[in-house]
Amino acid sequence: MNKKLVMATNNANKLREAREILAPLGIEVISQREAGADCEPEENGTTFAENALIKAKAVYDAVKLPTIADDSGLCVNALDGRPGVYSARYASKGQECQKLLDEMKDVPDDKRTASFQCTIAYIDENGETTMSGECRGAIGYEMRGTNGFGYDPVFMVGERTMAELTADEKNAISHRGAALKALYDHLSTK
């Protein structure tokens, strides 16, 4: 196994999570920018797996190193699964939580269930595979917490939002953490 893995992202938060979970394998996770891949493929898939594979293939083709990419999003039951694969494009950057809270303002407690979904695609010289993770919770009524990003401040797990958890607590239960643990298991057999 090559000890260097490229993550098809320049998102510092996603990189940190991947580095923390894969570190025990002695794998150095680098961003696509650090690897020299300057590409932003259009994520036009209709599933998290399709979008993850689109990103992983583009970066792998550019650098020819083992590559991972993730696609993730928030699926809200009261909104028929929206924003789903369109989570990143649901609202203007920084306005996602407020738009979601506005849409959910009249939804009662028992109908506020939601889940974070994540699929990670892994590509190397031997082919490609995907693995997924999920974290179930509910949508809160206000933004709380400063740890985390995206929809974390409104996604409740128990009595706290994802943004109120420590990095270790979040990695232990998050959708990306679960998918990265599946990747960890996959890579530990290589």
Q: 121 - beta bridge partners?
A: 69, 130
Question: Which residue among the candidates 71, 102, 109, 152 is catalytic per the annotation?
Answer: 71
pLDDT level of residue 177 (50, 70, 90 thresholds): confident
Active site residue 168: no
Q: What ranges make up the beta strands (E) of 32-172? A: 67-76, 113-124, 127-139, 155-157, 160-161
Q: What is the pLDDT of residues 10-50, one digit of tens each?
A: 888 889 889 988 999 999 999 999 999 988 898 899 999 99
**Segment holding 31, helix H or strand E:** strand 28-31
Q: What structural domains does the chain harbor?
A: 4-188 (3.90.950.10)
Residue 85 to residues 34, 43, 50, 117, Cα–Cα distance (Å): 27, 9, 10, 9
Q: What is the pLDDT of residues 113-151, one digit of tens each?
A: 999 999 999 999 999 999 999 999 999 999 999 987 889
C-alpha–C-alpha distance, residues 162 and 80, integer Å: 22
